[in-house]
Chains A and B, each alone.
Chain A
Amino acid sequence: DTGVSQNPRHKITKRGQNVTFRCDPISEHNRLYWYRQTLGQGPEFLTYFQNEAQLEKSRLLSDRFSAERPKGSFSTLEIQRTEQGDSAMYLCASSSPGSQPNEQFFGPGTRLTVL
């Protein structure tokens, strides 16, 4: 499968714990995006990487959130001291510089439940 992959698919954690999600983009896609989606809503942009550089962070990304893409390939999203309001689906997407502007390919998502 050459699509975007995300791990884990589901994560249940207790409030106050730290969690880390991983995203593997489509090979050779240099742009990688993280979105968050709550129930009944569309995805909301969190952050964006071009290669290893994090070029924008949404105001939704509080100090408890950090994302990295150290080698310009896979990316991790860490949430520290999780809160119940962090419960959501976290989606990763990637795009190629050769594709239509902003034609993004999404992974299956990681569903986070904070108890």
Chain B
Amino acid sequence: SQQGEEDPQALSIQEGENATMNCSYKTSINNLQWYRQNSGRGLVHLILIRSNEREKHSGRLRVTLDTSKKSSSLLITASRAADTASYFCATAARASSYKLIFGSGTRLLVRP
């Protein structure tokens, strides 16, 4: 069963705008990761944030983690048409950290 749930399920924005996606999860975690998937393709690892970190940046990406609320957010700034993809959060449970549990994803459309 899915542990994480992304919100919103779908998001449509204009090129240049910022996109924010949220993820909630249920159990204690070691870390949380965000992946991108272009239509019908494999997943690309974007960023990993550890449970003792609150915020992390990578280029135009900013990820926050609130372990008290069991939630994370991914912000993409100055979006581009090439950012159009599905975005998934994935968690690794403490008890079995080799296994990733994915949410159902946010489908982002960036209109040129």
Binding site for B on A (CB under 8 A): 4, 6, 31, 33, 35, 40-45, 48, 50, 55-56, 89, 91, 93, 95, 100-109, 111
Binding site for A on B (CB under 8 A): 2, 4, 30-31, 33, 35, 40-45, 48, 50, 88, 90, 92, 96-105
Question: Interface majority SS on A: helix, strand, loop or mixed?
Answer: strand
Instruction: List the A side residues contacting B44 at CB < 8 Å.
Output: 106
Among A50, A89, A104, the residue within 8 A (CB) of B100 is A104
Instruction: List the A side residues contacting B42 at CB < 8 Å.
Output: 4, 6, 91, 106-109
Query: A42-B103, A42-B104 are contacts. A109–B41 as well, Cβ < 8 Å?
Result: yes
In the complex, A31 Cα to B50 Cα: how many Å? 20
- Beta-carbon contact of A43 and B92 below 8 Å: no
Closest A residue to B32 by beta carbon equals A102
B99 to chain A, nearest CB (A): 5
- Beta-carbon contact of B41 and A102 below 8 Å: no
Instruction: List the A side residues contacting B2 at CB < 8 Å.
Output: 41-42, 44
In the complex, A106 Cα to B46 Cα: how many Å? 12
- Beta-carbon contact of B104 and A102 below 8 Å: no
Across the A-B interface, give the 5 residue pairs with the lowest CB-CB distance, nearest first: A42-B102, A102-B92, A106-B43, A108-B42, A106-B42
